Amino acid sequence: MVRYCVDLAVIIGVQGERENIMISLQEVEARLANAGLKNRYWGRAEVRELTNIILPDEAVFHAVNGRYEGGNALLVATDRRLLLIDKKPMFLNLQDVRYDSIAEVDYFARLLDATVAIRTVNKMLKFRTMRQNALRRLTTAVQEAVMDLRQIMNTPQPMTAYAEDPTTGQLSPVNTLNFVLPGHVSPMGMSSQQAVTFRKRVSKFHPIV
């Protein structure tokens, strides 16, 4: 009983902090309708719970009702994350899966239903529904979001060259367009050895002389 009271106090405190950024139920229903979910009766508890989860500037791309290992749930894909909401009396299961934590996304379709399996580093989420087309669109959006993030993370960042200012002795960025190979002359008439000072990296095991 003590543990329940503490958890309830924490939940009330968190909800109080979110009152200023909560969105209305009508706004949530409008975003879900634009995402293709227009069910008026099934999953009403999960839709109401979204008012405490969705941010005002968060876009809802896809949403579908279905089942997972814990029972009926609502799966929502936004521009920032993947949400699984299962709301029952005195029970709430909310899984917030960020796209950068997803390792693999598998989609299976049968005659009457379809299943998506989403694997992260430490868990796997399986979701099944009879709305095959809606789940297929959601799966495609999740895969594209994961691939876009991986492409951004794997893109090498440009490196900046620094030169030592002869007057101040401080390092300052050098325009890479004016960078020339050693022994050549830059357009300003200054050799590259004078324009850029390269500092040799010495191993800590190498004696300094």
What is the residue type of 186?
S
Higher-confidence residue of 136 and 153: namely 136
**145 has a pLDDT exceeding 50:** yes
b/e sequence 17-29, b meaning 16+ C-beta within 10 Å: eeeeebbeeeebb
Instruction: Provide the pLDDT confidence category of residue 199 given band limits of 50, 70 and 90.
Output: very low
Residue 186 per-residue DSSP state: -
Mean pLDDT of 4-9: 37
pLDDT per residue over 81-129, tens digit each? Answer: 999 999 998 899 999 999 999 999 999 999 999 999 999 988 899 999 9
| Residue 73: both structure tokens together | 């749930």
Average pLDDT of the chain?
A: 76
The structural domains of the chain, with segments of one domain joined by +, span 2-154
Give the pLDDT mean for 154-179: 65
Token pair recorded at residue 74 = 């609502």
Using pLDDT thresholds of 50, 70 and 90, give the confidence band for residue 58: very high
Report the distance separating Cα 91 and Cα 79, nearest Å. 27
Rounded to an integer, the average pLDDT of 166-171 is 72
Q: Which residue has the tokens 């796209």?
A: 99
**Topology classification of domain 2-154:** PH-domain like (2.30.29)
Other Cβ atoms within 10 Å of 204 Cβ, number? 5
pTM over the 0.85 mark: no
